[in-house]
A and B are shown apart, each in its own frame.
Chain A
């Protein structure tokens, strides 16, 4: 039992490489969303809706949403991969089962899923940052600071891991692929709108603010915003602590609960 659940870095890498190989083979379709999406948001909301808004949270509206869509893309990158995609690999393609017949263990497979989902957050963050910087260059308005741009892919690691862990928790439970719609509609989509992403939390009544402060995306957005504006790190202590604790708890539970589902 003990050995069945051990983790070998070499095996985790082999499984991660498999996922990366699939990504590389379909790179054209994979590159498109993280490059096109931010441009759409910046154009439509930032410059379009933003034209009617003088400022939001002390900056122009387009500057307000640029770090938000980065945080959102980190969330979706990891969450989608650890739910829909992981479920396809587990249930439809039986990829996990195929790998479990090799020296790789079920735990290796799950840890590789977490790291792969996080990789998607990091690639999303990198591509989007590039796209946002390019748009900023074109309109001659730096939307995020250069040192913030460099730190975005790095901060995507803990944020991605946290959402990947949450995704695996759902995957450990889901009876079918359609069931994922429920947490997406009731949890992810509301967070997408309400986590201080498109307007500051200060617009909310105090009780709603407190609820919003419990949401993981709120803290992800607080951090990307601070990085984008080049703010002091000290103001982020609470958000960093929140994400650190959540990352540990969610990844641990995600792996543990999925193991219960697949190793019986």
Chain B
């Protein structure tokens, strides 16, 4: 497809007997920010490795920027920028030299690379650190440098694997800004994240994966509306013990009238149209500590889809 940045057709990836990506079809149009969400082990990183044409596809077809990942891997990597999960900057080089060495892999000449590096360092506000050693940088600065490095070749598609994990709010917003600026130039962004607020804010479209499959896909606001509705309410019983009985009662009621809810330690979260009915029935219940009305979030959708049990 001409207008697709990424187009996967029945994509499968096996590691020995283990199926990391299972028959996934996906279409990411050009010019949007697409989020790939899912718990650990869902297959996100495997997807990204196949998309950046560094890991072979087991079955199915995958086209990136109109090129096949099997036959055109070099050409694809020439036109994409990858921002990996882990810090893999070169500790032996200065900030600027990291960019210059990286530019060489893209066949960018020294003078051009020097100009480009200056421009990017300015963009991520690291100009005054250009001569610094990598070990003298904070985590946020390293991340910004990795983002700059991923853009050294003027990519058409930027792939970010958990770009803001472990960052302070300032650094996080700085990374978000770079993503928005990049997208505003009409280019495509593919992003994985564990932060649902981040996905909701940045992504035009997203897919939630689990166990190698895509569970749902669409615009974040619409996904929330379609799956659990716009609003949620939390009925909280902070002290355990006899309050548990109240929560049991609410749970029973919810099941009876078929309300979408989820029970978490000290509270029941309600979704959908019946919220107010349930609240009015139980609001005078003395054992409830609090009733919180709020907008339903992507995190609600995510936890409802993938469950609350911990992943390895």
Q: Which residues of A contact B (CB under 8 A)?
A: 1-4, 6, 8, 10-11, 14-15, 17-18, 21-22, 25-26, 93-95, 97-106, 263-264
CB-based contact A105/B74 at 8 Å: yes
User: Which residue of A4, A14, A93, A263 is within 8 Å of B88 (Cβ)?
Assistant: A93
Q: Are A101 and B92 within 8 A (Cβ)?
A: no
Chain B interface, >50% SS class: loop
Please encode chain B, from 94 to 136, with 1 for each CB lying within 8 Å of some chain A CB and 0 for all others.
0001000110111100000000000000000000000000000
Say yes or no: A3-B72 contact (C-beta < 8 A), given A100-B54, A264-B15.
Answer: yes
Residue of A nearest to B82 (CB): A101
Whether B77 and A102, one on each chain, are in contact in the complex, defined by CB atoms closer than 8 angstroms, is yes
Contacts of A21 in B (CB 8 A): 92-93, 97, 101
Contact between chains at A3 and B55 (CB < 8 Å): no
A1-B70 CB under 8 A given contacts A14-B105, A22-B93: yes
For the complex, what is the distance from the CA of A103 to the CA of B87, rounded to whole Å? 19
**Interface residue B138 (Cβ < 8 Å from any Cβ of A):** no
The answer on a CB contact under 8 Å between B91 and A93 is yes
Closest residue of B by beta carbon distance from A99: B105
Q: Would you call B298 an interface residue if the criterion is a C-beta within 8 Å of the partner chain's C-beta atoms?
A: no
Contact of A3 among B71, B92, B93, B101 (CB under 8 A): B71
In order of increasing CB-CB distance, the 3 nearest A-B pairs are A94-B88, A102-B105, A101-B82
A residues less than 8 Å from B101 (CB atoms): 17-18, 21
Instruction: Mark contacts of B283-309 with chain A using CB atoms, 8 A cut-off: 1 yes-contact digit, 0 otherwise.
Output: 000000000000000000000000000
Whether a CB of chain A sits under 8 angstroms from the CB of B84 is yes
Residues of A within 8 A of B86 (CB): 94, 97
Residues of B with C-beta under 8 A to A103 = 74-75, 77-78, 105-107
B80 to chain A, nearest CB (A): 8
The minimal Cβ–Cβ distance linking B117 to chain A, given in whole angstroms, is: 15
A8→B102 CA distance, assembly (Å): 16
Number of interface residues of B (CB under 8 A): 32
Contact B55 A10 (CB under 8 A): no
Interface membership of B4, Cβ < 8 A: no
A94–B101 alpha-carbon span in the complex (Å):
15
Taking CB atoms, residues of chain B closer than 8 Å to A10 are 107
B55–A263 CB distance below 8 A = yes
Is B54 in contact with A101, judged by CB distance below 8 angstroms? yes
A4 touches B53 (CB 8 A): yes
A4 and B107 contacting across the interface, CB-CB below 8 Å: no
Interfacial chain A residues near B88, Cβ < 8 Å: 93-95, 97-98
- A sample of 13 cross-chain residue pairs with beta-carbon separation below 8 angstroms, ordered by A number, consists of A1-B70, A2-B71, A8-B74, A17-B104, A18-B101, A26-B92, A93-B88, A93-B90, A95-B88, A97-B88, A102-B105, A103-B105, A103-B106
Q: How far is the CB of B34 from chain A (nearest CB, A)?
A: 18
B52 at the binding interface (Cβ < 8 Å): yes
A3 cross-chain contacts in B, Cβ below 8 A: 70-74
Provide the bound-state CA to CA distance between A263 and B75, in Å.
Answer: 18
In the bound assembly, the distance between CA atoms of A62 and B251 in angstroms comes to 90
A106 with B74: CB separation less than 8 A: no
* A101 in complex: contacting residue of B70, B77, B93, CB < 8 Å: B77
Chain A residue contacts of B84, Cβ below 8 A = 94, 97-98, 101
Q: Find A25's partner among B56, B70, B93 (CB 8 Å cutoff).
A: B93
Whether A18 contacts B56 in the complex (CB less than 8 A), given A8-B74, A101-B84, A103-B77, comes out as no
Task: Looking at the assembled complex, report how far the CB atom of A4 sits from the nearest CB atom of chain B, in whole angstroms.
Answer: 5
CB distance from A90 to the nearest CB of B (A): 11
> Across the interface, which residues of B come within 8 angstroms of A93, CB to CB?
88, 90-91
Q: Are A95 and B90 in contact (CB under 8 A)?
A: yes
Q: How does the 8 Å CB contact mask read for B26-60 relative to A, with 1 for contact and 0 for none?
A: 00000000000000000000000000111110000
In the complex, besides A101-B77, A102-B102, A105-B74, 12 extra interface pairs with C-beta distance below 8 angstroms are A1-B56, A4-B73, A15-B105, A17-B104, A18-B101, A94-B84, A95-B88, A98-B84, A98-B88, A102-B106, A103-B107, A264-B55
Q: Is the Cβ of B15 less than 8 Å from the Cβ of A11? A: no
Write the nearest CB–CB distance from B98 to chain A, whole angstroms: 9
Question: Which of A26, A93, A99, A102 has the largest number of chain B CB atoms within 10 A?
Answer: A102
Query: A25 near B92 (CB under 8 angstroms)?
Result: yes
In the complex, chain A residues whose CB is within 8 Å of the CB of B87 = 94
Question: From residue A155, how far is it (CB to closest CB) to chain B in Å?
Answer: 30
Q: In this complex, what residue of B is CB-closest to A18?
A: B101
Identify the interface centre among B86, B87, B88: most chain A CB within 10 Å of its CB.
B88
Chain A nearest CB from B54 CB (Å) reads: 5
Separation of A161 and B148 alpha carbons in the complex (Å) = 36
Q: Which residues of B contact A106 (CB under 8 A)?
A: 54
Nearest CB in chain A: distance from B55 CB, A: 7
Q: Binary interface profile of B, 144-156, with partner A (CB < 8 Å = 1, else 0)?
A: 0000000001000
B196 CB to closest chain A CB, in angstroms? 26
**Complex CA distance for A6 and B56, rounded to whole angstroms:** 13
> Once bound together, how far apart are the Cα atoms of A17 and B97, in whole Å?
13
